[in-house]
Chain A
């Protein structure tokens, strides 16, 4: 935890997104293989969405 703390708040996004993906997918399906594959996809979708938002915010704040 200390290591993560030194890296900054943003890095907590990864475990947070992983947990949300895993638990959400587990409540949709029963088969472990399906849960894990859907969780992986959802995790990437969340990261992609956050990256897009980050990009938009960076563009909007360019030369501010």
Chain B
């Protein structure tokens, strides 16, 4: 029997809010202490786990029928994490986007774009040397000499030693797929130098540009990325997974608490020893009477 001092308001709505954002259901019900405990503990634990794993602890690999699996099948792991709500729902969407037909490496773009670039310049030309380059890259849709759609670009930046550099990239620019579990998006292209005979290839540029948060967050981790992560993080990767699993599983208890109230009792009753075994104390089972009219503040005093 619910303690009449606890106003659960609309229980199903509170449960839904608790699922979407741990603590939000209790905040809606005015149970502020619990809302703070749940949000700090569960969101904190989830974020800690994600941070420890370079934000790659949560994802789902569930390819559509006929599609090759590009990572570890992790349905049980995801099931444990699912309780954290909103990120898990977004992971479902990211799985769908990742395995979508249009999520492939790109050699064309729809509109011009500008992005911060960092990467390696490889060239054997006299006035260009191999160097690590950072700067701004501008890309625009173009057509090659055969009339096919392609990407042209221009990089303005500096080498490691601080000397400025400007490079022309004419066609043959390839961009990594839009949705992938990496905050940086690979880009590579051929560097051209304008000569009297026309543009001449003088080297290659391989690097990365930022990927939008919504395109990498909880996106499926590929086998190669997973192996690299295991090798780099070791036991901390396992620990990160445990943190996210525990966060998801604990939130299931929280959702039930938002829906049906605390499992044992209010907690201000005389300790008869029954409450810890799951039985509510006699006092808490009384109908709204003298004691049950007390406010929580009075009750805890």
Contact = CB atoms under 8 A, between A and B. Distances in A.
A48 interface: no
Contacts of B167: none
A37 B99 CA distance: 49
B296 A30 contact: yes
Task: Please classify the interface of chain B as helix (H, G, I), strand (E, B), loop, or mixed, using the class held by over half of its residues.
Answer: helix
B146 interface: no
B266 A30 contact: yes
Given A5-B236, A23-B250, A28 B263 contact: yes
Interface residues of B, number: 38
Interface string A5-39: 10001001001100110111011111111110000
A9 B235 CA distance: 7
Residue among A19, A24, A27, A31 with max Cβ neighbours from chain B (10 Å): A27
B3 A27 contact: no
B239 A12 contact: yes
B41 A22 contact: yes
Contacts of A35: 33-34, 37, 267
A9 B275 CA distance: 35
B37 A31 contact: no
B262 interface: yes
B38 A23 contact: yes
Contact of A30 (B243, B256, B267): B267
A51 to B, nearest CB: 19
A1 interface: yes
A29 B262 contact: yes
A12 B239 CA distance: 8
Using C-beta atoms within 8 Å of the partner chain, give the interface range for chain A.
20 to 34
A30 B253 contact: no
Contacts of B257: 26-27
A34 B38 contact: no
Interface in B111-161: none
A12 B241 CA distance: 13
Given A9-B236, A19-B41, A35-B37, A28 B262 contact: yes
A31 B3 CA distance: 12
B122 to A, nearest CB: 35
A43 to B, nearest CB: 12
Contacts of B45: 15-16, 19
B48 interface: yes
The 4 closest A-B pairs by CB, nearest first: A34-B267, A29-B267, A31-B267, A27-B253
17 contacts: A9-B239, A12-B243, A15-B45, A16-B45, A24-B253, A26-B254, A27-B256, A27-B263, A28-B267, A29-B262, A29-B266, A30-B5, A30-B262, A31-B299, A33-B267, A34-B300, A35-B37
Given A30-B267, A31-B268, A33-B300, 13 more contacts: A1-B52, A12-B239, A19-B42, A19-B246, A23-B38, A23-B41, A23-B253, A26-B37, A27-B254, A30-B3, A30-B266, A31-B266, A35-B33
Interface of B: 3, 5-6, 31, 33-34, 37-38, 41-42, 44-45, 48, 51-52, 235-236, 239, 242-243, 246, 250, 253-254, 256-257, 261-268, 275, 296, 299-300
